[in-house]
Amino acid sequence: MKFDDAQIRRRILAGCEAVMREEPTITEYDTIVGDGDCGYTLRDGAKQVLTFIADKDLSQLPQTLAALVHDLEVNMGGTSGALYCIFLTALAASLAAESTFPKALNAALQQLLKFTRARLGDRTMMDALIPFVETLDNGTEGGDVEKALGEAVKGVDGTKKMEAKLGRSTYLDESATRGVPDPGAYGLLVLFKGMAQAA
């Protein structure tokens, strides 16, 4: 694959800025169903990404992504931070090996699934990630981003009615989490939407 620095930079900027804007909402959700730090974790991660890529050559995306992970591992805490780092490490490798971006995302997802017990329906960020990636890879060669986003939205909406199987929310009564989306899934959806709108 060839990588266009300007296009990739535009998408990353838009995605990270969307996450930073939505931090108060993500924090509000996580204050109800979690430790209250998910919004700050994602916001700080987004800031770190923007600082890191400022002087990097994004046409060398696999190498830049691999270097970014080393930076994020130090600066992005929490469970979501660890999952993002595992996924991005796998993505750096798959971008160098696969023929399309959707296939690279799916290969990275398969790697991530080896490191986490979280699956679809467990009320985690995977409820946004799995449907998005799988739908994107099932589409045309370029991937149907709008359709993938639609499935991710359904996944996030579904978490409003789910009983948590993993994480802090498992300690709460189901009635306390009803109607509130999983903060990690919602935050990831915000990132995807932001990146998609910067086409």
Considering 110-119, 162-171, 172-181, the range whose residues carry the highest mean pLDDT is 110-119
Model pTM score: 0.92
What is the structure's pLDDT at 44?
A: 93
What is the structure's pLDDT at 162?
A: 79
Separation CA 199–CA 194 (nearest Å):
10
Work out how many domains the chain is built from and give that number.
Answer: 1
Mean pLDDT of the chain: 90
More confident site: 130 or 161:
130
Q: Report, as an integer, the average pLDDT of 117-135.
A: 94
CB atoms within 10 A of CB 137: 19
Separation CA 37–CA 130 (nearest Å):
23
Separation CA 58–CA 44 (nearest Å):
21
DSSP 125-182: THHHHHHHHHHHHHSSTT--HHHHHHHHHHHHHHHTTPPP-SSGGGGS-HHHHTT---
Full residue range of the structural domain in which residue 190 is found:
5-197
CATH of the domain at 68: 1.25.40.340
Q: Report, as an integer, the average pLDDT of 167-183.
A: 68
Residue 185's Cβ-count burial label (10 Å; 0-12, 13-18, 19+) is buried
Contact 190, 19 (CB under 8 A): yes
Residue 90: which residues within 8 A CB-CB, separation 6 or more?
107, 108, 109, 111, 112
